[in-house]
Structure 1
């Protein structure tokens, strides 16, 4: 399961729309490693002032890998995180997470290109 969902959030979903802040809290609580990667990277981007920041830290264990995969593989979670930080989130390989300012369209396009994916391949990431 991707998320540990409290009963109140299930009730909210059954009644209609879910508030972003409640969904974000569920993501934070369920995927603490993945959230910490995105939050730290967003902080670096805010402090850096550039168009984007990439975090290439290798997750410490299988559980952390799984959390990162679940976050970036879910359109709903990724979109909520993007709205929360007002940044675009991109993912390359098994652990390379990029956060981009909304106007960094050229940088986002380059990071998500087939060329960049090919150039980012490393033997040590073969079975990540």
Structure 2
């Protein structure tokens, strides 16, 4: 299961739309490692003032790796995080997460990061299981 959904939040969802704030809070509490990584890369993006920041530290265990995969493989979760933090997330392997300002999504750097070449260049034998 990707998220720990409280009975109250499930009831809200069954009645209609869930707010981004409610959804993002569920993500934050359900996937704390993924939240920490995304928060850090978004903070780094804000701190640099540039168009790009990334996180390249492998997760400490399979549990954390799974959190990151679940968070970034889900369109709903990734979209919620992007709206919450105000930047586009990009993902390679099981650990490399990048944040791009929305205006930089048409940049050479973004296209290089999400390209097949970028994916291949970010491979290593240590990361084969991710």
Q: TM-score range by the shorter chain?
A: over 0.9
Rounded to whole Å, the distance in 1 between the matches of 2:19 and 2:126 is 40
Rounded to whole Å, the distance in 1 between the matches of 2:25 and 2:71 is 13
Structure 1 residue 45: deviation in Å?
Answer: 0.6
Provide the TM-score with structure 1 as the length reference. 0.97
Q: Within 5 Å, give how 1:93-108 maps onto structure 2.
A: 93-105=93-105, 106=107, 107-108=109-110
Q: Say whether 1:73 aligns with 2:73.
A: yes
Corresponding residue number in structure 2 for 1:110: 112
Corresponding residue number in structure 2 for 1:127: 129
Corresponding residue number in structure 2 for 1:58: 58
Structure 1 residue 110: deviation in Å?
Answer: 1.4
Q: How many residues align?
A: 128
SS in 2 for 1:58: coil
Structure 2, unmatched stretches of 5+, are none
Rounded to whole Å, the distance in 2 between the matches of 1:67 and 1:127 is 15
Provide the TM-score with structure 2 as the length reference. 0.96
Aligned-pair RMSD on alpha carbons? 0.8
Q: Please give the per-residue CA displacement for 1:28-77, whole angstroms capped at 9, x wherever unaligned.
A: 00000000000011111100111110101110011100100000010000
